[in-house]
Amino acid sequence: MRNIACIEDLRERARRKVPRAFFDYADAGSYAQETLRANRDDLERIKLRQRVLVDVSSRDLGTTILGAPVSLPLALAPIGLCGMQHGDGEILAARAAHAAGIPFCLSTMSICSIEDVAEATRTPFWFQLYVMRDRGFIGALIERAIAAKCSALVLTVDLQVLGQRHCDIKNGMTVPPQIRLKNVLDIGTKPAWALGILKGKRKTFGNLAGHVRGMEGVTSLAQWTASQFDPSLSWKDVEWVRSRWPGKLILKGILDVEDAKTAAKTGAAAIVVSNHGGRQLDGAPSSISALPKIADAVGADVEVMFDGGIRTGADVVRALALGARSCMIGRAYVYGLGAGGQAGVAKAIEILRNELDVTLALTGTKSVRDIDRRVIAQM
């Protein structure tokens, strides 16, 4: 990991090490990628207020998320197919997160299963739930998360239907993930990746294989999602999930003030202001532009988390300043995973930690808990 100075360096290294179909799957946004770009552009537009001659010799990056102490205001976001960026990717990312003192969230669409991650790690992790048509299966999945002692359930509410990523069609992303003949040449140039995948526990969706019908035949990711995911999902289903999950519930994918107000009334402990990393409704506003209104409306009733476009420690400061209590990172750690497995994820977290620390100091702030709108420069 020498010569890696920033998240963009990890991205470049991941691009060289991960087969194109999987790198593109992680990197891209939906359709014309307007929202993907807006997530970054709008963060970069927010300028921070430089303050001088404040004694910042002791600084504190620690805070709490859902009442639990964390070393940084960060959690690793749920990432489908994480284990295709690197063999056993979910286990490696969970270990890196726990070593750094922050939560890891496992996706329903992970390669390693809930049980695999529970067996391989000691610290409880969060589980992210997609609600599929087969409610018997979803009930059983919640039971499996309870049995694995998951410490929070993250219900993702912004993927009733799948936003199209053009590259997935062109690259032939399928369910189960298949290595197409036309990709073999590409994979031939990525032997370390191939070895990692071969040695990994699983090659398909660990939580679904053997439980969900239709996993046997190969279909495109888009077709498969359309047949399995439930487009009739409604607020009533949030109650249904709530009644089955005794622990802390987080609703992920809120971008609208009215939805945030409804979410706050469901008994959820937290919401994540998110547009799924620009992978769902293209043309939706950036997450950062939606955050302040939502935080103002519901911040007193429910813990507000944020994700979408975080690539630097300064971005974390921007999100906290505009009302988030903590942030999730997606691609920032996925690039680290592709670039160098567990060490790469650890590097991504370390980069963000160091940048956050310096940004804190140069804005004259001593603790992440003190960050508020005063750190934003008036334009």
Q: Out of 207, 228, 274, 286, point to the residue binding ligand FMN (CB under 6 A).
A: 274
Closest by CA position to 48, among listed 379, 378, 376, 319:
376
CA Rg, the chain, in Å?
20
Number of alpha helices (DSSP H) and beta strands (DSSP E) in the chain: 15, 12
Interaction of residue 286 with ligand FMN, rule CB under 6 A: no
Interaction of residue 174 with ligand FMN, rule CB under 6 A: no
Q: Out of 7, 46, 61, 77, point to the residue binding ligand FMN (CB under 6 A).
A: 77
In angstroms, the CA 331 to CA 77 distance is: 9
Q: Could you say which residues in the range 78-137 bind ligand FMN, by CB under 6 A?
A: 78-80, 107, 109, 128
Q: Could you say which residues in the range 304-343 bind ligand FMN, by CB under 6 A?
A: 307-310, 328-332, 334
In angstroms, the CA 327 to CA 119 distance is: 27
Site string for ligand FMN, 47-66 (x = CB under 6 A): --------------------
Residue whose CB is less far from ligand FMN, 128 or 312:
128
State in angstroms the smallest separation of the CB of 329 from ligand FMN.
5
N-term to C-term CA, the chain:
38
Which run of H or E residues covers position 47? none
- 276 counts as catalytic: yes
One-letter identity of residue 200 = G
Instruction: Assess contact for 270 and 248: CB atoms under 8 A.
Output: yes
One-letter identity of residue 4 = I
Q: Out of 13, 276, 318, 353, point to the residue binding ligand FMN (CB under 6 A).
A: 276
Residue whose CB is less far from ligand FMN, 32 or 54:
32
Interaction of residue 156 with ligand FMN, rule CB under 6 A: yes
Cβ burial of 273 (10 Å; 0-12, 13-18, 19+) is buried
Interaction of residue 24 with ligand FMN, rule CB under 6 A: no
Q: Which residues bind ligand FMN (CB under 6 A)?
A: 25-26, 39, 77-80, 107, 109, 128, 156, 252, 274, 276-277, 279, 307-310, 328-332, 334
